[in-house]
Amino acid sequence: MTRPAACLFDLDGLLLDTEPLHAQAWREAAAAFRRPLTDAELLVLRGRRRLENSEQVRRWIAAAGVPPPSSEELLAVQQPIARRLLRNARAMPGAPELVARCAALAIPTALVTSSSSASLAVKSAGHPWLAAMAPVILGDDPELGAGKPAPDPFLLAARRLGVEAQACWAFEDSPAGARSAAAAGCRVHVLIPDDVPKDQVGRLYDASWVFLQSLDQVRMEGEGLSTDG
């Protein structure tokens, strides 16, 4: 049994099942500029901020010998697709219950996401349970330096909560997000996405992290939390 100083939660692919929707939006946007994206490339985009992903996709388009669009032109295609899809994002199994368990134990929580404020509003509209988490660290937070995989998002969350990052549990799914939490000194729990090939897990994720198949593995135990991950 452990009582972390706080639990810091990613959003996409961890609390909400949005990663396939983001992937579809980037796939359709890149295809509009004649550059199909592979599954491996879509995995690289996970957990990162929108503008960083836009620049990465532009580089892939240019490397294919196709005149790349500007970032604004690419996002003008990608964002409407994403907004349409993300309105229907579902909660990941066990996510609302885990947030409620933290509240029952009076363990502070924060949302640490690369999403912008506008994107979060679209995704969270049907999920009032997300409002229990504060503070919220967004990809466009004016106090945020570098985004994931840099440690800045988790360090900022810990600072706003008034706790040491090393005393926090971080929950992530993407390699970029997990590396961000680890660099901040958090105890990292990784929900391994179903679409990550098993032979790639060891390459993408550190063996020292706690691996989870479901958020239901994190349980209340006495005055703290435990996991069989």
pLDDT, one tens digit per residue, over 4-24 is: 999 999 999 999 999 899 999
Question: Helix, strand or coil for residue 136?
Answer: strand
Average pLDDT over every residue of 58-63: 96
In angstroms, rounded to a whole number, what is the distance separating the alpha carbons of residues 23 and 43?
8
Q: What is the C-alpha R_g of the chain?
A: 17
Q: Quick check: is 10 catalytic?
A: yes
How far is CA 214 from its chain centroid?
15
The interaxial angle of helices 50-63 and 19-32, nearest 10 deg, is 40
Average pLDDT over every residue of 46-61: 93
Quote the pLDDT of residue 198.
85
28 pLDDT more than 70:
yes
Contact residues for 35 (Cβ-Cβ < 8 A; gap 6+): 57, 60, 61, 64, 66
Quote the pLDDT of residue 1.
60
Kindly report the backbone phi and psi dihedral angles of residue 168, in degrees, each rounded to the nearest multiple of 5, phi listed first: -100, 155
pLDDT digits (tens, 9 = 90+) for 182-225: 999 999 999 998 878 888 898 989 999 999 999 999 998 888 99
Q: Which CATH number fits domain 6-17+89-227: 3.30.1330.10, 3.40.50.720, 2.40.128.20, 3.40.50.1000?
A: 3.40.50.1000
Average pLDDT over every residue of 114-136: 94
Contact predicate 76/206, CB 8 Å: no
Among candidate residues 72, 71, 66, 36, the one with its CA nearest the CA of residue 56: 71
27 pLDDT more than 70:
yes
Among candidate residues 109, 141, 154, 111, the one with its CA nearest the CA of residue 16: 111
Among candidate residues 114, 104, 157, the one with its CA nearest the CA of residue 11: 114
Residue tagged active-site, from 10, 141, 152, 173: 10
Quote the pLDDT of residue 229.
61
pTM: 0.85
Residue tagged active-site, from 12, 141, 152, 173: 12
Angle among Cα 185, 191, 196 to the nearest 5 degrees reads: 115
* Average pLDDT over the chain, rounded to an integer: 94
The interaxial angle of helices 19-32 and 71-86, nearest 10 deg, is 140
